[in-house]
Structures are given as C-alpha cells and as structure tokens.
Structure 1
Amino acid sequence: MSVLWINVYTFLIGVARSSYSVLYNLFLRSQGFDNVVVGRATFYYSWGLAFGGLFFSSLSDRIGRKNTIILTIPLFSLLGFLRLLANTPILIVMLSLLFGFFDTSIILPTISVIESSDDRKRLRNSNINFAIVMLTGVLGYFGAGLLAPWLGYFRSLTLSMLFALASVIPVLLLPNLKRASRLERILELNLGQIVMLAYYTVSGALVSFAAGIFINFGNVIFYDIFSFSPTAISAILAVSQLSTAATSLFSHKLTEKVGYKLSLFSLYGAVTLLIYTLPILMSNSIAFSFGYILRFVLLNISTPMYMVFCLTYLPRNYVATFSGLSYFINNTMRAYSAYTFSKLSVSGWTDYSQLFLTTGHYYLLNTVATLATFAMLTLLSSKGLDKKVLIKLEQKGDFSGRKYLGSSGHVVGRLHSFRTAKKRDSKRHSGVHIHHRY
C-alpha cells in the first residue's frame, strides 16, 4: 500500500513538474529575456537542487520521508508561482535557487520506493516508478502544449503549481518512513564495490552534464533553431517520453541475450555517435527531431540497466547517503551545463554546433569510463581481488544520542591496506537513486 501511494504522488508531482519545466523557459523568452538569463536561472535552480537534495535526504533520515515531503512541496509550489512574478534577472535567479532547493520531487520518492520494498520486489517497484515518471512526462508535456495557446504561459504555469500542491494529499496517507537506528551502522566496502561506487559517481556526473543540456534547454533548442510553437515542442518531448516508456518494457530482452555490460556499452556508444551528428542534422527539422527522440530513448532505456548494474554491488544500508551524495554531484554538473549554455549565448545567439560537440565529448568520456570499469571488474574478479575488504567503518552511538564514526579492521587512514578476509557473496539489491537521465 505504501508503494501505491508513493506512485500516486509520483504521478501528480511528475505531471506538474514536467508541464512547468517545458513552459518556464519559453515563458522567460516571451517576456523578453535572452538565453543568458534563461541559462543563469537554470544554473541557480540546479545548484538549489544539489544542496537541497543533500540537505533534505539527510533531514528525511531524522524526521521521515513523509514529513519532509509535506514540508517541502508547499514551499516548492509557492516559489514556482513567485518565479512567474519576478521581473528582473536578479529576482529570477534568486527565486530559481530557492525553487530548486525545495524541489524534492525526484529523490525522496525514489528512496521511499526502495525502502518500502523487500529484496524480491525492489527492482520491479523501482521500474514501475520509473515508468510512471516517463508517463508523467508524456502527459505533462502534451498537456502543457495544449494549454499554453489557450490559457497562456502564466495561467498554465500557475495551474501546474496548484497541481504540485495537490500532490501532498496522497503523501498524507503514507507511513512516515525513517531510516533504521544509526547505532552500529557498518559500512563495509570491498575492492569491487569501491570500483563500482567510483563508476556510479563518475558516470552519473558525466551523463548529468550532457543530458542537462537537453533536460533544461530542449524546449529552447527547438524554439531557437526551428521556431517551433509550444504545441510542436511539447509534442516532440511527449513522443520522446512515450517511446522510452514503450521500449523500456522490452529492454530486458536485450540484457537477457547479451548481458548488462555489453548492453550498456552499446547504448552509450550509440548515444555518443548520435550526438556528434546533431550539428549536421540541424539543417533539417524532421531529421533533427528524429535524432533528438532517438537520443532520448537510447539514453533512458539504459537507466534501469545502469541502476541494476550498480545495485548488485553497492551496500544496501546506506540508501540516503549514496543517493544524496550522487544527487548533489549530478545537479552540480547540471548547473555547470547551464553555465556552459550561458557562456555560449553571450553574443546574443547560441552556438548550438559547439554546444552539441561539447555534449558529445562528455558522452564519449562516459562510454570510455563504462568500458574501463567493466575491464577493471573483470580483471579483479579473475585474480580473486574483487571481494577483499578495503574499508570498514562502524558508526556507533550512546544512549545520550551522541554519535561518532569509529573505525575497525586494518584500514584506518590507509586506503592501500587490505584485510585478508573475504566478504561473503551477496546478491541483495541496494538502494541507489535512479537518475532519470533525459
């Protein structure tokens, strides 16, 4: 029942968030602001997401996921409305920072789904939640495209924030999920897990920069290059989401045939090549739109594969810790992508060819990092080193409530020191934040 209400909340907040995101940049352009202001607003919004995700994922460990959502969503909705009233660049960036800080609509539902599911159902429930996110994108983008010409940008955006506020209703029916006692929490990482944690962090950061360009500025890209209407832009984004949802239902067939490693490497390689062709495709709106949709589909069907590949390695009992840290890093990279967009727009027009080539470089680095990680894991496994424990930290507490982080084993301050005991094999899935990498 908990997962059901989390999914209802995800649906409501997802529709509100996607409809707001597809229209807000166009709203700024309609008010006479250039791409420099649009880029700076996104830059500060992403920084708000980064720090807010880190802060509220930690706070939710103490006051519970339910209470955190009830605290943040009304403020998120209010700030989303106040952004529409801002009439100077300074006000826009200040409110964008706060708007992002209180936007917990992605990270907390994901953590809650993971914690509300047992080992056997965790992956299934996470994939269902992922599919709902894709569906809300379709409805949000398409609905926004229909409403904007009829109601106008301001009223449509206001309606989306009212919808976001209404998403609190199913949250009231949730139990208040808190992390288990912090007494004697043990973080034990073997060499294979350290390699995977590094890959999880690096890959997420690289893809977040590259995908951030399309997440934040996909609407502006079509507006600037082809002068598409809001309805046409929303239709393209909706088709992208719908195609992803449809293909993700069958993506597991690919992994059954060739495995996760080859599937991920092939998808990342295909996305990289596709991005490098976008400057050529800009001469034809149909070809470019098809390339945009294909990039979206290929990258996002890789998301569940990427998630499962990491889940089989990382510790389960540090869900919020790893999720919050990764969320912070990824949104920092998205802020940097917004900064890059602004820098390429200072002359009054945006050099989209250079922007796509820069994005392609990050996708290429991610493909190389993926291949290097697979090779490293294979090498460690062949030598029997992947299960050797490098780090073991035990977090203890006393009855007065004070907690400290103590160390155990032979690895205190010496990352190169190995314990000789091998950790038992475990196939339990850990809880790691799912990055919806649009």
Structure 2
Amino acid sequence: MIWLVNIYTFLIGLSRAFYTALFNLYLKDNQISNQIIGNATFYYSWGLAIGGFLFASLSDRIGRKKTILLTMPIYSLFGLLRLSNVTVIGWLYVVSFFFGFFDTSIIMPTISVIENSDEKKRLRNSNINFAIVLLTGVIGYFGAGLFAKSIGIFLTLVLSMVIALLSTIPVFAFPNVKLSKRKPKKETLTLTQKTMLIYYLASGALVSLAAGVFINFGNVIFLDLFGFSTVAITNVLAISQLSTAATSLFSHKLTAKYGYKFTLFLVYLGVTILIFMMPIFVLNPFVFSLAYVLRYVLINISTPMYMVFCLSYLPRTSLATYSGLSYFLNNVMRASSAQLFASLSKGGTTNYAQLFFVSGSFYFVNTLITLLAFYVTYKLSTKEAVVTNDKTVNHEKNGRRTNSSVNRNYLTSSALRKRRNRKASVHLHMPSSRIIPNSRKWKGK
C-alpha cells in the first residue's frame, strides 16, 4: 500500500510543482496585478480549506481510494478552466475556489501513510513520502522553467493538469478498504491529549499564516524584488526543494538524538530569526536567495516531525478527522495571508518590509506556544505519573493489583519502570493503544 501511495505522491507532486511555479507568473504575463493575484489565492485557499475538511471526513466513510478517484479528475478540469479568461476577474475567483475545493492531493497521501504504518516505521515512512514530495518539487520546478522556455507557460500548465489526471492510475490499484458501518465509540481524550490537539491545530494554523506568503507568492517576490527570469525563479525554488529533500532523509536522526520537542523548538526559533532579518537580506539577491532556501529547509523538515509527534498522541480512529480539521484551519490561515498580501499591494507596489515583519511575528508566536505546550504536557505527565504511582501502591496494599489494570490505563515499558524514580516520562500516562515516538530522548525535559 505504501509504495502505491508513494507513486501517486510522485505524479501529483510533479503536477503541483509545475502549476505552483508558473501560475502566478502566467497571471503576471497577462498584466494581472499583485492585489488580484492575492485575492485569487485567497479564494483558492478557502476552497482548499472547505473541500479538504469535507473530503477528509468523506474519506472516513467511503475510503481514501474512492475519494481520490472522485476528486482528482474534477480538480484537473478546474485547473484547466483556471487558465482561460483570466482577465475576467469574477471568473478567475470562482474557478480558483473550485480548483482548491477539489484539491485533495496533499491531505490524502498524508493520512494514508500515517494510518498504514506501524509505530516503528511511521516517522520513516512519513519522511520518505515527504522526501518524494520534495523530490518532485525539484524535478517539477527545474522542469517547469525548461518547459516554459521551450513550449511556453500556458502549455506547461496544461501539461501539469494532464499529469494530475494520470496520477489516478496507481490509485486504481489501491486496496478496497472495507470500512466498518458501526458508529465508533466516542473516545474521551486525556488532558495531555487535549493539550496536544490544541497545540497541533494552533501551531499548524500559525505556521500556515506565516509561511503562506512564501508558499503562495515566492515566485512573485523574486520577480518584484530582483526581476529574476522564470528560469532563475524556478531554479531557486528547485534548490530549496532539493536541499529540503536531502536534509529530510536525515531529520529522524536529530529526533533520535535530541527528541521531537527540542528539535522542533530550535527549528521554529531559527526560522523566526531568519524572517525578521529578511529586510536586511533584500539588499543582496544572492544572500536573500540563500536565506529563502534556508527558511524553506528548516520549516519543511519540521513538518513530518510535527505531524507524527502530535498525531501519535491521538486515537487512530480519529486521525482523518483531526487532520481534516487542521487542514481546514491551515488553509483558512493561508487565505488570510493571501488577503494580507493583497492589502499590502494596493497602489501597484507591495510593502515587503512590512510583510516580512508580520510573517516573522506569527513565527515568533508559534515558537512561544510550542515552548508553552511542551511545558504544559511535561507538567501534566508528571502529575499523572504521581497519580499512577499512588494507584499502584493502593492496588498492592489491597492485594488487587493485576497487569491488566495497569496496561488498560498506562503505557509503562520495562525501561520506563526502571527510570520512574529518576525521571518522569512525558508519555508515561498514555494508553497502550497510542503510538508514541521517541519522547524519552528529549533533553529539554
């Protein structure tokens, strides 16, 4: 199953890279202003938000395979319609919304990889899938520049939608998952799980709001600030993807050595500092390009860490729902960043210094709530560990202690039991049905 998902990821990733790299430049070639480009991205992001949430929930009922086969042909159709009559602003906004609404190319592979991997291979499989996404970005961005130069931007964009349609071929080989018709029991989350769910949603939303400027308008930024050619812009984007793909293959070693929490905190702090320094880097196109690549690498290698770490706390039966909710919030925030870009582009020019300051502020807030969330989960786990010890003592005194009574409520490995008196584990409280990454190795506890 995983290799089929990876093939689909490769093809759809190639299509997305072509389209993402060139569509805004296609609008600029048609004399469309930054304000209108920002508004079109705003409607596209709202389509992503609403459609992603609805189709993630639908996929829980009809399966991932049927959801992809339903949405991707319609997505390809609206991708082609989006290329026509771009000077008719109302039309551009409407087709942009529906293009985003049927775009399930990101959320479906992510859910499929996480739910079809066991606890030992979950991060590795996520990193491999994410590296494929980045690799297709490298090939797609380089290819987009070359194809645009040889056959033109319009035909290259048409080609990208043909590839998107072809990406459904391996999906036909996906197994037909027989979904249970029984209504799942309502699960009660622990305080630590609730804290992590809130952090998962809030952090994803803040990063999307901060990064949306670079995700949606990176090509426009290079064109406006330095007058880069299409080939030069796509080369910078490709180098960003290539660097991230290379480093993401080894990011799990950082989490193995320093733990998820410490690594995530340092990455977010580093990105925050970089963004605040962007107005200085603008003075030199090479330095700015280097800083852009570094920011891209840092924030993207943190994505699989953040997702695996947060979702590992939560019930498997609700992964798609939580992912869909996060996807919705993230795209609402990207829509907000698009609106911010449009509001700062009135009068024909964009105030990039102010844009970088606002983006950096959101990264800074995300860094603070990351630190706060990790502190709260640590305190909660310590408190619950004490309660666990008290209950264990009472069971022993009453002669009623059984292995099942312990395992039903807490995951306590032999290694953790040996270390209980010395160090409280962040995940000591978790039920045995949860999938826990290498939490014990965070040196920041």
Q: Same fold (TM over 0.5)?
A: yes
* Structure 1 Cα separation of the partners of residues 322 and 184 of structure 2: 18
Task: Name the structure where strand makes up a greater proportion of residues.
Answer: 1
Q: Offset at 1:332? A: 0.3
Q: Offset at 1:385? A: 7.1
Equivalent in the alignment of 1:11: 10
* Structure 2 Cα separation of the partners of residues 348 and 17 of structure 1: 28
Contact 2:52–2:104, Cα closer than 8 Å, also in 1:
yes
Change (3 A) 1:74 1:386: farther
Paired amino acid for 2:68: I
Change (3 A) 1:61 1:48: same
Equivalent in the alignment of 2:41: 42
Match of 2:435 among 417, 422, 428: 428
* Structure 1 Cα separation of the partners of residues 157 and 68 of structure 2: 21
Q: Percent identity?
A: 58
Q: Offset at 1:179? A: 4.5
* Structure 2 Cα separation of the partners of residues 178 and 340 of structure 1: 44
Equivalent in the alignment of 1:402: none
Contact 1:23–1:157, Cα closer than 8 Å, also in 2:
yes
In the TM superposition, 1:151-190 aligns within 5 A as 151-177=151-177, 179-190=179-190
DSSP 3-state at the match of 1:353? helix
Cα distance per residue 1:298-319 (max 9 Å; x no partner):
1111122212321331121101
Contact 1:209–1:336, Cα closer than 8 Å, also in 2:
yes
* Structure 1 Cα separation of the partners of residues 178 and 200 of structure 2: 25
Contact 1:114–1:126, Cα closer than 8 Å, also in 2:
yes
Cα distance per residue 1:126-156 (max 9 Å; x no partner):
2211111111111111100111111111111
Compute the TM-score of the two structures, normalised by the length of structure 2.
0.86
Change (3 A) 1:182 1:346: farther
Contact 1:387–1:423, Cα closer than 8 Å, also in 2:
no
Tell me, yes or no, if structure 1 residue 192 matches structure 2 residue 192.
yes
In the TM superposition, 1:287-366 aligns within 5 A as 287-366=287-366
Q: Offset at 1:108? A: 1.0
Q: Offset at 1:263? A: 1.2
Change (3 A) 1:174 1:232: same
Aligned residues: 396
Contact 2:22–2:157, Cα closer than 8 Å, also in 1:
yes
Cα distance per residue 1:355-405 (max 9 Å; x no partner):
0000000000000000101111121122227999xxxxxxxxxxxxxxxxx
Q: Offset at 1:257? A: 2.9
Equivalent in the alignment of 1:221: 221
Contact 2:13–2:136, Cα closer than 8 Å, also in 1:
yes
Compute the TM-score of the two structures, normalised by the length of structure 1.
0.87
* Structure 1 Cα separation of the partners of residues 201 and 90 of structure 2: 33
Contact 2:11–2:164, Cα closer than 8 Å, also in 1:
yes
Equivalent in the alignment of 1:415: none
Cα distance per residue 1:172-214 (max 9 Å; x no partner):
1111336444434332200100110010000000000111111
Unmatched segments (≥5 aa) in structure 1: 389-421, 431-438
* Structure 2 Cα separation of the partners of residues 75 and 253 of structure 1: 40
Contact 2:115–2:316, Cα closer than 8 Å, also in 1:
no
Task: Name the structure where helix makes up a greater proportion of residues.
Answer: 2
Contact 1:122–1:429, Cα closer than 8 Å, also in 2:
no
* Structure 2 Cα separation of the partners of residues 78 and 346 of structure 1: 32
Contact 2:123–2:252, Cα closer than 8 Å, also in 1:
no
* Structure 1 Cα separation of the partners of residues 150 and 26 of structure 2: 14
Paired amino acid for 1:102: F
Paired amino acid for 2:150: W
Q: Offset at 1:256? A: 2.9
* Structure 1 Cα separation of the partners of residues 179 and 35 of structure 2: 42
Equivalent in the alignment of 1:53: 52
Contact 2:195–2:377, Cα closer than 8 Å, also in 1:
yes
Change (3 A) 1:109 1:251: closer
* Structure 2 Cα separation of the partners of residues 224 and 386 of structure 1: 58
Relative to structure 2, which stretch is displaced further, 249-258 or 208-217? 249-258
Q: Offset at 1:23? A: 0.2
Equivalent in the alignment of 1:66: 65
Relative to structure 2, which stretch is displaced further, 131-140 or 60-69? 60-69
Change (3 A) 1:67 1:257: closer
Change (3 A) 1:252 1:68: closer
- Consecutive aligned runs of 4 or more in structure 1 exceeding 6 Å deviation: 385-388
Paired amino acid for 2:383: K
Equivalent in the alignment of 2:408: none
DSSP 3-state at the match of 2:189? strand
